[in-house]
Amino acid sequence: MKIQIEAFGIAKDIFGKKHIEIRLQTGCSVLDLKETLMEKFPKFKALRSFAIAVNESYALDTDQLTETDKIVIIPPVSGG
């Protein structure tokens, strides 16, 4: 399946753009996505951490993704 990903902060710099499309196996998990990202974009490994938001909430590593999910990369936050 193809998923669309939106990026903020340093994740946007790592991609060099705000939106990317990634091909993943159907039914893959959030952890699978994180591993794929670290493989394709090794700079993710250097971050303190990064989370995935699915449909505007933090997702668990075990959550399954679908093509219609709104997926956003959340690098370490630094508001306030």
C-alpha 1/C-alpha 27 separation (Å) is 8
Tell which one of 3, 30, 59, 75 touches other proteins (CB under 8 A).
Answer: 75
Nearest to 72 by CA among 52, 58, 57, 45: 52
C-alpha 24/C-alpha 33 separation (Å) is 8
The phi and psi torsions of 9 (rounded to 5 degrees) equal 55, -135
- The least CB distance from residue 25 to other proteins, in Å, is 26
Of residues 42 through 71, those in contact with other proteins by CB under 8 A are 46-48, 53, 56-58
Q: Does 80 bind other proteins (CB under 8 A)?
A: yes
Look-up of token digits 């991609």: 15
What x/- string results for residues 7 through 26 when contact with other proteins is judged by CB under 8 A?
Answer: -xxx--x-------------
Q: Which residues of this chain interact with other proteins, rule CB under 8 A? A: 6, 8-10, 13, 46-48, 53, 56-58, 72, 74-80
